[in-house]
């Protein structure tokens, strides 16, 4: 993730706060647990859909939603809750701003990786989140039934990895 993209996310996050598209909130265990439950349920659904070869489209959609709900849980634990307007973009930008260094530090701490390698890894996770957001929208609204099974598998694997990473970060 280049510095220009990070700066853009920072500017967008500040604007979203100012515009009320994301707000500082007091922590509520019920809301937090709902995000976590939705993330796990979405991941389980994606896995079942993939295993049963039911629908590649819905593997992509539910995989993305697992990542989305984990990102929401992370932001909520930090005291931020997105509104209803352009919520997926708000969560994406907010995760880049609020999560990048925390995830990097988690990876450094747990895997004893060099600083630059950890940044590359965290950027890959954040880029994967952004790719899945775009893929979900594209597949859900613009793609015909010829959705490739391998793309669905990629989405599911990314969602599993993101889920585990964010679960570990949230437990700290």
Work out the average pLDDT over 115-132.
79
Whether pLDDT at 142 is above 60:
no
Structure tokens given for 25: 């909130």
Q: Does residue 68 contact residue 88 with C-beta atoms inside 8 Å? A: yes
User: Residue 171 is inside which H or E element, if any?
Assistant: helix 149-171
In this predicted structure, what is the pLDDT of residue 42? 97
CA dihedral (29, 34, 37, 40) positive or negative: negative
Q: What is the pLDDT of residues 15-27, one digit of tens each?
A: 999 999 999 999 9
Q: Cα dihedral angle (114, 118, 121, 125), rounded to 10 degrees?
A: 170
Strand partners, 82: 22
In this predicted structure, what is the pLDDT of residue 73? 97
CATH entry, 3-99+128-171, from 2.40.40, 3.30.420, 2.60.40, 1.20.120:
1.20.120
* 140 band by pLDDT with thresholds 50, 70 and 90: low
**Residue recorded with tokens 């994606």:** 46
State the chain's mean pLDDT as an integer: 88
With a pLDDT cut of 70, the percent of the chain lying above it is 90
Return the SS3 of 28. Answer: coil
Find, among 107, 37, 111, 105, the residue nearest to 76 by Cα: 37
User: Is 72 exposed, middle or buried, given 0-12, 13-18 or 19+ CB atoms closer than 10 A?
Assistant: buried
**Cα(26)–Cα(79) distance, integer angstroms:** 6
Work out the average pLDDT over 90-117.
81
Find, among 49, 95, 53, the residue nearest to 72 by Cα: 95
In this predicted structure, what is the pLDDT of residue 25? 97
Per-domain boundaries in the chain? 3-99+128-171
Q: Does residue 92 contact residue 128 with C-beta atoms inside 8 Å? A: no
SS (H, E, C) 46-103: HHHHHHCCCCHHHHHHHHHHHHHHHHHHHHHHCCEEECCCCHHHHHHHHHHHHHHHHH
């Amino acid at each position: 993730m280049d510095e220009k993209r990070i700066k853009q996310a920072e500017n967008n996050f500040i604007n979203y706060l100012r515009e009320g598209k994301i707000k500082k909130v007091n922590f509520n265990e019920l809301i937090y647990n709902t995000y976590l439950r939705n993330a796990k349920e979405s991941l389980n659904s994606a896995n079942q859909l993939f295993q049963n070869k039911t629908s590649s489209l819905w593997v992509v959609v539910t995989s993305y939603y697992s990542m989305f709900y984990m990102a929401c849980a992370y932001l909520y634990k930090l005291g931020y809750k997105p509104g209803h307007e352009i919520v997926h973009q708000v969560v994406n930008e907010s995760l880049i701003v609020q999560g990048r260094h925390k995830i990097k530090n988690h990876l450094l701490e747990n895997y004893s990786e060099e600083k630059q390698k950890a940044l590359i890894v965290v950027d890959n996770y954040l880029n994967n989140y952004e790719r899945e957001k775009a893929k979900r929208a594209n597949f859900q609204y613009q793609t015909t039934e010829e959705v490739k099974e391998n793309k669905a598998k990629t989405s599911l694997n990314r969602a599993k990895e993101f889920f585990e990473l964010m679960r570990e970060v949230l437990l700290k």
